[in-house]
Amino acid sequence: MLNKKLIIGTLFVTLLLLLGIFLGKERFSKQEVDEDSKLSIKETSEMEDLPLKGSERNEERPQLKYSSDEFQAGMNILIYGHPDMAETRNLFNRLRNLGINSVAINFPFYQSDSQANEVTVSQAYTPTIQELRKIIEFAHASELSVMIRPIMDEQVFLSSNMWRGQIKPTDPDSWFDSYQALILTYATLAETTNAKSLNIGTELNSMQNKYQDRWTELIESVRGVYKGELLYSFNYDTVSEIPSLEFVKLLDQVGVDAYFPLDLPNGATTNMLEEEWKNQINQLEEVLWQQSIIVTEVGIHPIDGAYRTPYSWSFPDGTFDPKAQVNYYEATYNTWKPKAEGIYWWAITLGQDPNEISFSPLGLPTEEVIKKHFLQNY
């Protein structure tokens, strides 16, 4: 009888244990699903708790020549899609060790065609607010100040041989209503992440002069949300308009995307490039230099003669020449540093094949030029 009771008791305890294990697994699985649903694509909880590597500790970083308040020694980061956060963190640490003190976070927004009255983000190609927040957090952890810089993608215009500077919405007020709502979203992000600056527009040539009242309204609305610095980036071919634009007076800085063609033969030396730079900027009105200038984009591919068309993305018949990029960076810094409060080199694309020839200076002798000018005692 005792043995029978013992057997029954043992079976009962065993059943209770099995039930507990089953319920525990079910609860754990549900928790996993709940947690996963909170994360954006490629945003993982382990990113939040990654330990600092030796190279990330302040005492091991080389000393900067400038703080970002003295001079914005910047690099443009171009993000399409949902970035690998480990790559992003490693890139920021690498840039900081080159002497970079500021990054401009560039990401796309869209419209359906050149006459559309609405701008949109893309679930596939525009980073989410959560991803941007994490990216900014990583930049700050690497002692980099941040410019938030949404840019209109041009792919849809290319078949018509147009670009963002030529859009003509059929209802400009509706377009501005949509655009203002978009920028206010990123103004809120800038405020809550303590971003140094927000770029409210880039190279929208056709919209600059005719709709100054809407730019004024947009700036005033953003000021109600964001307390940091505001700027607008003008393409090099509209810089002459700047003194006549009333809304410019409401900005903290004027951005210049400095793709001025430098008409020189292949193999141009640093001195030749400097002289041509001076020829270009000496044509600008003196009143322009009364503004606080940030060079928001400047750079070339490491291709011989690329400085003649610095805005080009493709040189199918070009000759690879890292020295061309070295000389261009040197001449650009020497010419623009006395006149500007910052230079942001264009650009490094997250997720790009490191062996691809592009605007990026990484892995090229150009890194030494950056260190020379941006690191203390280098």
> Would you say 197 and 252 are in contact if contact means Cβ atoms under 8 Å apart?
yes
Residue 344 CB neighbours (<10 A): 28
> Would you say 128 and 108 are in contact if contact means Cβ atoms under 8 Å apart?
no
Residue 319 CB neighbours (<10 A): 12
Residue 194 CB neighbours (<10 A): 13
> Would you say 200 and 218 are in contact if contact means Cβ atoms under 8 Å apart?
yes
Q: Specify if 9 maps to a domain.
A: no
Q: Specify if 15 maps to a domain.
A: no
CATH number at residue 191: 3.20.20.80
* Predicted pLDDT at 310: 98
Sign of the torsion angle spanned by Cα atoms 135, 351, 374, 329: negative
Residue 342 parent element (H or E): strand 342-349
* Predicted pLDDT at 284: 86
127-151 pLDDT tens trace: 999 999 999 999 999 999 999 999 9
pLDDT band at residue 288 using 50, 70 and 90 as cut-offs:
confident
Q: Specify if 46 maps to a domain.
A: no
* Predicted pLDDT at 38: 34
Given a cut of 70, whether residue 34 has pLDDT beyond it is no
Average pLDDT over residues 263-280: 97
Q: How far apart, in whole angstroms, are the C-alpha atoms of residue 248 and residue 199?
A: 13
Average pLDDT over residues 55-62: 65
> Would you say 64 and 100 are in contact if contact means Cβ atoms under 8 Å apart?
no
Provide the β-strand partners of residue 342.
72
Q: How far apart, in whole angstroms, are the C-alpha atoms of residue 124 and residue 267?
A: 41
Return the DSSP state at 236.
G
pLDDT band at residue 59 using 50, 70 and 90 as cut-offs:
low
Given a cut of 70, whether residue 31 has pLDDT beyond it is no
pLDDT band at residue 58 using 50, 70 and 90 as cut-offs:
low
Angle between helix 366-374 and 322-336 (nearest 10): 20
Given a cut of 60, whether residue 46 has pLDDT beyond it is no
Question: Cα 35 to chain center, whole Å?
Answer: 29
* Predicted pLDDT at 146: 99
* Predicted pLDDT at 14: 46
pLDDT band at residue 17 using 50, 70 and 90 as cut-offs:
very low
Given a cut of 70, whether residue 331 has pLDDT beyond it is yes
Given a cut of 60, whether residue 40 has pLDDT beyond it is no
Q: Specify if 117 maps to a domain.
A: yes
**Residue type for position 356:** E
Average pLDDT over residues 358-377: 98
Residue 328 parent element (H or E): helix 322-336
What is the SS3 assignment for 102? strand
Residue 10 parent element (H or E): helix 2-37
68-105 pLDDT tens trace: 999 999 999 999 999 999 999 999 999 999 999 999 99
Domain that holds residue 354: 62-374
Total-model pTM: 0.86
> Would you say 76 and 346 are in contact if contact means Cβ atoms under 8 Å apart?
yes
**Residue type for position 301:** H
Provide the β-strand partners of residue 148.
105, 198
Q: Specify if 39 maps to a domain.
A: no
Q: Specify if 24 maps to a domain.
A: no
Question: Cα 33 to chain center, whole Å?
Answer: 32
Average pLDDT, the chain: 88
Where in 258-325 does DSSP place strands (E)? Answer: 293-298
What is the SS3 assignment for 50? coil
Q: Specify if 40 maps to a domain.
A: no
Q: Specify if 321 maps to a domain.
A: yes
Provide the β-strand partners of residue 77.
105, 348
35 or 378: which carries more pLDDT confidence? 378
Average pLDDT over residues 350-376: 97
Token pair 């971003």 is found at: 195
C-alpha closest to that of 88 among 39, 152, 41, 132: 132
Tally of domains in the chain? 1
